[in-house]
Chains A and B, each alone.
Chain A
Amino acid sequence: MSPLLNIAAEEIQSPLIPPIPELVIGLIAFVIVFGALAKKLLPNINKVLEERREAIEGGIEKAEAAQTEAQSVLEQYKAQLAEARHEAARLRQEAQEQGATLIAEMRAEGQRQREEIIAAGHAQIEADRKAAALTLRQDVGTLAVTLAGKLVGESLEDHARQSRTIDRFLDELEEKAEASR
């Protein structure tokens, strides 16, 4: 460029006319920033922001899951408790019923035993009576023989004697009965 043209160029140099070298440098400078941000740094941070969002949402989800679980456990526990109460009530009822049956059974058994005892007593008494009657009959026979013997040996006219003998006999009889008792 000649000096004259140079001066002319300087005179018409407007601040609105961009010099080529500065355009190039401006482009390079911007491309450096854009490239670094778009290719590496912003994807980097986006990944981390996503991770953070997931971590927060994951935490919330976990808390919700824990709450749901706690709720279900509580319901389970309540159900179990109710069941246990039912069971207890049922057992009590059963026990009461069983107790009542048992008492009734025992009462019946007692009744039965009492009747048995009474029957046994009666039988015993009957047997005793029979034995006594048997013994008595034998004794009466013997006594009758003895008495007959005595009567034969004594005078039959003597009523007084007779009656005395009979009285004596009966007294003896009584004594014997007393003694045998």
Chain B
Amino acid sequence: MSADPTQVLAFETDCHIFDGCGFPAPGLHSFLFEPLWGNADSNLYFNKTMLLALLGSIIVVGFFWAAFSKPKVVPGKLQMVAEAGYDFIRRGVVYETLGKREGEKYVPLVVALFFFVWMMNLWSIIPVAQFPVTAIIAYPAVLALIVYILWVSLTFKRHGFVGAFKNFTGYDKSLGAVLPLSMTIEFFSNLLVRPFTHAVRLFANMFAGHTLLLLFTIASWYLLNGIGIAYAGVSFIMVIVMTAFELFIQALQAYVFVLLTCTFIQGALAEHH
């Protein structure tokens, strides 16, 4: 999966409008990176998103380490900020959906998921990095897979085999003749579509966000010639607006991801689906 060498970003060249070159629109190639190390064909390589993923996890751990490794009853500023974030997820997401008794066990997972996803999203607007790790499907997919495995195993553990099957298919006698159809749809919806959408929702949001940012950034550079300069200004304002918007979307998508996680767990723990 190496990038097409013929396609380069606008700011990697001196190409401007009226210079006789076309607009180097962002596309799938913008999400492919040459390996920093190793060979792309051998499945043994290391690229920018991997670097950002590992760096991001180190930043998240570092932040919480600085805040919580020697916590004080009377908190300092950093601890207070970290506590606010922790409390927001614990109370606002986990306790809200699962309740304090059932939810307590899943707090570390949900908190880790939220801050991990948020950090991966944040890379999108951090200078130099400027790429959301979650715009590579592998990262949301692995997280969604963890949640999926947890959800399925919890359902079996809680309801037994038949119970779990009823849970997955939304078994309801009152549906009568529609039941087989409804069960089939529910089965596919829950077991196959749900984990996919869970991952893709995050991936697509970040993918689209990054594409938009790229589009306006490239356009700002590309239009920087002649009468185009006026449009370049508009485009640059859009870059700033979209960056602010992305900042909001990044947090929102991380929140949605963990909220869905909790909803799935709640479905597994619920008596009747």
Q: Which residues of A contact B (CB under 8 A)?
A: 1, 6, 9-10, 13, 15-23, 25-30, 32-34, 36-38, 40-42, 44-45, 47-49, 51-52, 55
Please tell me if the beta carbons of B116 and A29 are within 8 angstroms of each other in the complex. Answer: yes
Complex Cα spacing A6 to B42, Å:
11
Complex Cα spacing A27 to B143, Å:
7
Give how many A-B residue pairs fall within 8 Å (CB-CB): 126
Q: Given A16-B137, A22-B136, A34-B109, do A52 and B65 touch, yes or no (CB 8 Å)?
A: no
Is B191 interfacial (CB 8 A cutoff)? Answer: no
Please tell me if the beta carbons of B31 and A15 are within 8 angstroms of each other in the complex. Answer: yes
A17, closest chain B residue (CB): B137
Chain B residues touching A, majority SS: helix
Is B73 interfacial (CB 8 A cutoff)? Answer: yes
A67 CB, min distance to chain B CBs, angstroms: 24
The answer, among B4, B28, B83, for a CB contact under 8 Å with A15, is: B28
Please tell me if the beta carbons of A42 and B86 are within 8 angstroms of each other in the complex. Answer: yes
Closest 8 CB pairs of A and B: A22-B138, A18-B138, A38-B108, A48-B71, A29-B57, A34-B112, A41-B68, A26-B142
Complex Cα spacing A51 to B49, Å:
41
Q: Given A6-B41, A17-B137, do A26 and B111 touch, yes or no (CB 8 Å)?
A: no
Is B2 interfacial (CB 8 A cutoff)? Answer: yes
The answer, among A13, A26, A40, A51, for a CB contact under 8 Å with B53, is: A26
Known A22-B49, A48-B73; 7 more pairs at CB < 8 Å:
A22-B136, A25-B53, A33-B57, A38-B108, A40-B69, A42-B111, A51-B73
Is B268 interfacial (CB 8 A cutoff)? Answer: no
Please tell me if the beta carbons of B64 and A26 are within 8 angstroms of each other in the complex. Answer: no
Please tell me if the beta carbons of A28 and B72 are within 8 angstroms of each other in the complex. Answer: no
The answer, among A19, A25, A34, A37, for a CB contact under 8 Å with B1, is: A19
* B113 partner residues in chain A, CB cutoff 8 A: 30, 34
Please tell me if the beta carbons of B115 and A28 are within 8 angstroms of each other in the complex. Answer: no
Please tell me if the beta carbons of B108 and A34 are within 8 angstroms of each other in the complex. Answer: yes
Q: Given A10-B2, A29-B57, A51-B73, do A37 and B64 touch, yes or no (CB 8 Å)?
A: yes
Please tell me if the beta carbons of A42 and B68 are within 8 angstroms of each other in the complex. Answer: yes
Q: Which residues of B contact A (CB under 8 A)?
A: 1-2, 4, 28, 31-32, 41, 43-46, 49-50, 53-54, 56-58, 60-61, 64-65, 67-69, 71-73, 79, 82-83, 86, 107-109, 111-113, 115-116, 133, 136-139, 141-143, 146, 200, 203, 207
Complex Cα spacing A45 to B78, Å:
13
Complex Cα spacing A23 to B142, Å:
6
B129 CB, min distance to chain A CBs, angstroms: 14
B73 CB, min distance to chain A CBs, angstroms: 5
* A38 partner residues in chain B, CB cutoff 8 A: 108-109, 112
Please tell me if the beta carbons of A13 and B1 are within 8 angstroms of each other in the complex. Answer: yes
Q: Given A26-B139, A30-B57, do A41 and B43 touch, yes or no (CB 8 Å)?
A: no
* A23 partner residues in chain B, CB cutoff 8 A: 138, 141-142
25 contacts between A and B (CB under 8 A): A9-B1, A13-B32, A15-B207, A16-B137, A16-B203, A18-B137, A19-B1, A21-B46, A22-B49, A23-B142, A25-B54, A26-B138, A27-B142, A29-B139, A32-B54, A34-B108, A34-B116, A36-B64, A37-B108, A37-B111, A37-B112, A38-B108, A45-B67, A47-B71, A52-B73
The answer, among A19, A32, A48, A52, for a CB contact under 8 Å with B138, is: A19
* A51 partner residues in chain B, CB cutoff 8 A: 73
Q: Given A32-B57, A34-B109, do A16 and B200 touch, yes or no (CB 8 Å)?
A: yes
The answer, among B31, B53, B79, B83, for a CB contact under 8 Å with A29, is: B53
A60 CB, min distance to chain B CBs, angstroms: 15
Please tell me if the beta carbons of B207 and A25 are within 8 angstroms of each other in the complex. Answer: no
Please tell me if the beta carbons of B2 and A18 are within 8 angstroms of each other in the complex. Answer: no
Complex Cα spacing A176 to B142, Å:
159
* B141 partner residues in chain A, CB cutoff 8 A: 18, 23, 26
A36, closest chain B residue (CB): B61
Complex Cα spacing A27 to B109, Å:
13
* B146 partner residues in chain A, CB cutoff 8 A: 27, 30
Complex Cα spacing A21 to B47, Å:
10
Residue among A34, A41, A47 facing the most chain B CB atoms (10 A cut-off) = A41
